[in-house]
A and B are shown apart, each in its own frame.
Chain A
Amino acid sequence: MSVAGRTLFTLQRCVCMRDMTKVAAGVVGVKQKHEGLVRFSETPKALLHTTTSSSFPSFGTDRLPRAQHSIPESYEQVEKSTAEWAYVERLFPPKSIPKPIAKPGEVMPSGWKSPSACPGDYSYFVHRSPSHLYPVYIKHTPMRCRYITKLHHIEGDIFALAEDLRVYLMAKRQPRLINMRVHEPHQKIHIKGQYVAEIREFLQEKGF
Chain B
Amino acid sequence: MSLTLRLAFYPRLHCVVRNVVTSCSKGATDTVVVPKSSGAPLIIQDKWKDDKGAVEGREAWVETLDNSTNSTQLGLIHLNPRIFASYPRLDIIHENVVWQKKSRMVNYAHTKHRSEVRGGGKKPWPQKGSGRSRHGSIRSPLWKGGGIVHGPRAFTTQFYMLPYHKRVRGLISTLSAKFAQDDIKIVENLDMPSDEAGYLEQLCEDRYWGPSVLFVDESDIMPRNITLATDTLGHMNLMPVYGLNVYSMLKHTTLVLTVGATRLMEEKLLYNLDRPDGRSLVTRFRK
Contacts and interface: CB of A to CB of B under 8 A. Distances in A.
B50 interface: yes
B5 A119 contact: no
A184 B271 contact: no
Contacts of B50: 96, 99
Interface in A89-128: 93-97, 99, 115, 118-120, 123-125, 127-128
Secondary structure at chain A's binding surface: helix, strand, loop or mixed?
loop
Nearest to B85: A155
B20 A120 contact: yes
A186 B87 CA distance: 8
A157 interface: yes
Contact of A187 (B20, B49, B87, B273): B87
A110 to B, nearest CB: 18
A119 B4 CA distance: 26
A185 B53 contact: no
A93 B277 CA distance: 9
B19 A120 contact: yes
A36 interface: no
A123 B15 CA distance: 11
B122 interface: no
B55 interface: yes
B274 A123 contact: no
A44 to B, nearest CB: 55
Query: How big is chain A's contact interface, by range?
Result: 20 to 34
Interface string B20-47: 1100000000000000000000000000
B17 A97 contact: no
Contact of B17 (A93, A115, A130, A156): A156
Contacts of A130: 273-274, 276
The 6 closest A-B pairs by CB, nearest first: A119-B54, A125-B54, A96-B274, A156-B17, A127-B52, A119-B18
27 contacts: A94-B276, A95-B271, A95-B275, A96-B50, A99-B50, A119-B18, A119-B19, A119-B53, A119-B54, A120-B17, A120-B18, A120-B21, A124-B17, A125-B54, A127-B53, A130-B273, A130-B274, A155-B15, A155-B17, A155-B53, A155-B55, A156-B15, A159-B8, A184-B4, A184-B5, A184-B6, A185-B89
Given A96-B274, A156-B15, 5 more contacts: A94-B276, A119-B53, A130-B274, A130-B276, A185-B7
Interface of A: 93-97, 99, 115, 118-120, 123-125, 127-128, 130-131, 153, 155-157, 159, 184-187
Interface of B: 4-8, 15, 17-21, 49-50, 52-55, 87, 89-91, 271, 273-277
